[in-house]
Structure 1
């Protein structure tokens, strides 16, 4: 009997060991992934190059024999994340097998705070994070960044902070020295600095959130739950709803998904919403998608059609569209359509998605480890290629502080409700361009200085954007357009007399006209204003062309 038991134990141990992925198998998986991407997904080499990708693969391939299993998984994740498309990723669960810290983090405009915790760690609730282990939070963010499939900085704020609560990522990225199920954080709360140790929990034990904590018997949030602001109402039971604010004659709508709710499809919801608008005294619409991470963009059309059919509502000052760091994927498509086809004024934070982007990922399963790497295969281009940007930026930018949040002060909605839209141009550069191409020079000369001084346009970097317009004319290479660029750059200099960028560009324009004396004078001025900066260095390079 003892011999039989020993044989059974040996067979069991052999089965366990055979299930583990050894170094050679990990290397085979890495080559499989590398070859598959080159063969079937080479089109995703947009934000990184094939050479950089291959270099990362070779480094990990050589390191695998000396790495722990979780370090290898994180290494694979880094490689896939280097494509910088949010849909192209190795799932978060792949790097959280040993559990996560029982906290929820949020990046407010005054720091990263513990917004929610398991009740056992109530002492840490509402604390600002200073260090993870011995690593300052700023350095920890820098180290974890490569693991996140970052579309833009907003994507990192929305979806990147969760990697800070994975000990496997923290160790693999050098934030903590040893992998452990216990991690100590240095915190600041009520003017006091202290340390607190957290023990990991299973990822499934953290309640589902839109980056905020849904209070349960086990979890608490720092927010005062006696009152619920509109953007968090029906947090756990409705994907979309609307509420009439009678005193402001405003309909507030929150749509937190582009998927259909099992209880009511989006088409049904839109129909019900527009019927309410048509039969009630609704003078203003505030449409909130700041917590909308996407879904099926084919569901967007009825909303756009309904808005365009109601010109009294779809006009500047009557329609506000709230976006934010969770606005992603199919909701970026919705934001694109709203921006292009309606008169909405966008309020809030930039989106987490590029305007044009790769989405709709396919799973590539690695043969030995069975890890799934999701690679995007569909290019969504709602805007012309030249108009692609890292994100949609609101015309009225508003961010939230920690105190705003815990006191349920929705500064974004308040801004939308009280914004003075008289004379406001939500798309200032489009407005300026239209004045220019229609020959309204006198009005242009009045409008640009006015807009530069108007605090409502603080979101627009007029210096940079106007220089871009001047460079478009300059790069045409034709005499009239070059003269036009000189007029544009000269106007910018009046607005920004210390703009090294503008002096450099104006110098390049005169160089194209063959006036090397004037060009040299302007380029030297740019260098003096920005000796060691990017513009100064670029001016030096142009000046060398003249001297040589």
Structure 2
């Protein structure tokens, strides 16, 4: 009897798996069509990945088509399109036969780890637990495995919009962590000091947690880890695109704007005119604009915000204007913060944005001929800053990350940092400051301040190491070898494990005729480049000259 029951269960599972793969699709022709379409109409997307590498990945996926199941081809297609590395360039599976399955959870990443921020009520006991392992594998390793399937411009964008890829069963199956997309998944959790395991079955295809800006809503049978009977400012009135609140204890006007769209009650120009009238009437000293939830909209609507700020110099000054950034700051809001950085004296507080500073946005919907899967391909290049100022994100001047406990208790360390900002000794433009010291020849102060910047938590997201490497390269390429050597040498003192700095130092030492020192720096770089095969080959070639 037990054998018959097992046979029936196995047959039912087979029927379920077959049911999710019944679409008659010629995957080879779909992928070939996509490849030709990009080559002919979107060749500019070959920026972060070369055409040859993309073609090789496409050919590899096509070679799997005959033996692969549909869900395997779908996630392969996601990975292929995500290789362009632009958030607006993606595969759309919602409301298609190929929509994916997730566990009945909503994951969020905080300063101290990845947590179950919300779940179906049946798993209320697990809400607030930290995730340690998924399907027996360390959550950090699972993160690395599923990251390439998401169209992330940087890790912040994945943090904001892609964390639930860690519990998407088609991806877990594709990476060999579970048998198939219908398999139950065991999570190792930590809550109240107790480590334990819980097994979750995936939801129906396309079913998702009810959320507002990524946070679970306490309805539709779901529960949030946070006490939602009260909310911090950034989570207040989420039914409105923007709202303002005067904070008399700090004589500060707080504004939360979560889209670059007009609210139905008041358009953006009228809203900001109203905000600044109140600032004038009450002699308010500070303005905080919170865009940590803002995923964009219509960047032509940014003008009103800039105009009102620039025409109020009492606000547009250091220590009086603050902009809160976060991982969801993206698209048209990236344009907004770029312009605020260019034209105002805003102090940015919080975490880096989820978008590259300059980026491809505004996509076209292209439908694959057989599967009918929509693929969204970006066509508009948005460049608010010179190419040499482009970075993976816009970093905050003051870095503040939220812990899970702070989130659960409705605390807001990011807003607190803005309200209590002290500009005494604060360096708003670190590279500008260090460049000025360098030009003045004040090397002692330059070194002291550089070491301070590399250690101070407020500058956590200011990538001084990479910026110094870029400066060293520019100096070396313009024949300023001694200056480049100084920059590289300083960078090796600040960041002793920096391969690029040691290699740059080796090349400049060689140019200056200091062959033994160059050889030593090259050997140091080679010893650090353990997992970088191509760089190791290049370094070995460099060292053959000695």
TM-score (norm 2): 0.88
Displacement, 1:318?
A: 1.2
Contact 2:502-2:524 at 8 Å conserved across structures: no
Contact 2:364-2:377 at 8 Å conserved across structures: yes
Displacement, 1:212?
A: 1.1
Displacement, 1:491?
A: 5.9
Displacement, 1:276?
A: 1.5
What does 1:20-419 correspond to in 2, within 5 Å?
21-23=23-25, 25-93=26-94, 97=99, 99-180=101-182, 182-192=184-194, 193-201=196-204, 203=206, 206-235=209-238, 237-419=239-421
After superposition, give the CA deviation of every residue in 1:213-242 in whole Å (9 maximum; x if it has no partner). 12225221111223210110012x111111
Contact 1:182-1:200 at 8 Å conserved across structures: no
After superposition, give the CA deviation of every residue in 1:56-100 in whole Å (9 maximum; x if it has no partner). 222222211212222222221111111111100012525863643
Contact 2:184-2:199 at 8 Å conserved across structures: no
Tell me how far apart the structure 2 counterparts of residues 311 and 42 of structure 1 sit (CA, whole Å): 44
497-506 or 401-410, which deviates more? 497-506
| DSSP-derived class of the 2:66 partner | helix
Unmatched segments (≥5 aa) in structure 2: 1-17
Among 515, 519, 541, the residue aligned to 2:515: 519
Tell me how far apart the structure 2 counterparts of residues 171 and 507 of structure 1 sit (CA, whole Å): 45
Unmatched segments (≥5 aa) in structure 1: 1-15
Tell me how far apart the structure 2 counterparts of residues 397 and 508 of structure 1 sit (CA, whole Å): 34
Contact 1:187-1:194 at 8 Å conserved across structures: yes
Question: Which residue number in structure 2 is paired with residue 484 of structure 1?
Answer: 483
Question: Which residue number in structure 1 is paired with residue 6 of structure 2?
Answer: none
Displacement, 1:274?
A: 1.6
Question: Which residue number in structure 2 is paired with residue 3 of structure 1?
Answer: none
Contact 1:467-1:489 at 8 Å conserved across structures: yes
After superposition, give the CA deviation of every residue in 1:484-507 in whole Å (9 maximum; x if it has no partner). 334545666777789776565444
Displacement, 1:211?
A: 1.7
Among 419, 423, 441, the residue aligned to 1:421: 423
Contact 1:500-1:526 at 8 Å conserved across structures: no
With over 3 angstroms needed to count, the CA separation of the structure-2 counterparts of 1:110 and 1:369, relative to structure 1, is same
Size of the alignment, in residue pairs? 519
Tell me how far apart the structure 1 counterparts of residues 54 and 234 of structure 2 sit (CA, whole Å): 41
TM-score (norm 1): 0.87
Displacement, 1:520?
A: 2.0
With over 3 angstroms needed to count, the CA separation of the structure-2 counterparts of 1:143 and 1:251, relative to structure 1, is same
Among 462, 466, 469, the residue aligned to 2:468: 466
Question: Which residue number in structure 2 is paired with residue 508 of structure 1?
Answer: 507
With over 3 angstroms needed to count, the CA separation of the structure-2 counterparts of 1:62 and 1:466, relative to structure 1, is closer
| DSSP-derived class of the 1:150 partner | coil
Contact 1:523-1:540 at 8 Å conserved across structures: no
Question: Which residue number in structure 1 is paired with residue 3 of structure 2?
Answer: none
Contact 2:160-2:328 at 8 Å conserved across structures: yes
Displacement, 1:465?
A: 2.9
After superposition, give the CA deviation of every residue in 1:321-370 in whole Å (9 maximum; x if it has no partner). 11111011111111111111111111111111111111101011112221
Displacement, 1:469?
A: 2.1
Tell me how far apart the structure 2 counterparts of residues 242 and 139 of structure 1 sit (CA, whole Å): 41
| DSSP-derived class of the 1:307 partner | helix
With over 3 angstroms needed to count, the CA separation of the structure-2 counterparts of 1:323 and 1:499, relative to structure 1, is closer
Larger Rg: 1
After superposition, give the CA deviation of every residue in 1:241-289 in whole Å (9 maximum; x if it has no partner). 1111101001111111012222222122122112221212211111111
Question: Which residue number in structure 2 is paired with residue 9 of structure 1?
Answer: none
Tell me how far apart the structure 2 counterparts of residues 148 and 500 of structure 1 sit (CA, whole Å): 28
Displacement, 1:419?
A: 2.0
27-36 or 458-467, which deviates more? 458-467
Tell me how far apart the structure 1 counterparts of residues 69 and 539 of structure 2 sit (CA, whole Å): 49
Displacement, 1:143?
A: 2.0
Tell me how far apart the structure 2 counterparts of residues 173 and 244 of structure 1 sit (CA, whole Å): 50
Tell me how far apart the structure 2 counterparts of residues 258 and 198 of structure 1 sit (CA, whole Å): 38
Contact 1:470-1:486 at 8 Å conserved across structures: yes
Tell me how far apart the structure 1 counterparts of residues 485 and 28 of structure 2 sit (CA, whole Å): 57
| DSSP-derived class of the 1:294 partner | coil
| DSSP-derived class of the 1:424 partner | coil
With over 3 angstroms needed to count, the CA separation of the structure-2 counterparts of 1:313 and 1:159, relative to structure 1, is same
Displacement, 1:198?
A: 3.5
Give the alignment's Cα RMSD to 1 decimal.
Answer: 2.8
With over 3 angstroms needed to count, the CA separation of the structure-2 counterparts of 1:491 and 1:29, relative to structure 1, is closer
307-316 or 447-456, which deviates more? 447-456
Contact 1:113-1:128 at 8 Å conserved across structures: yes
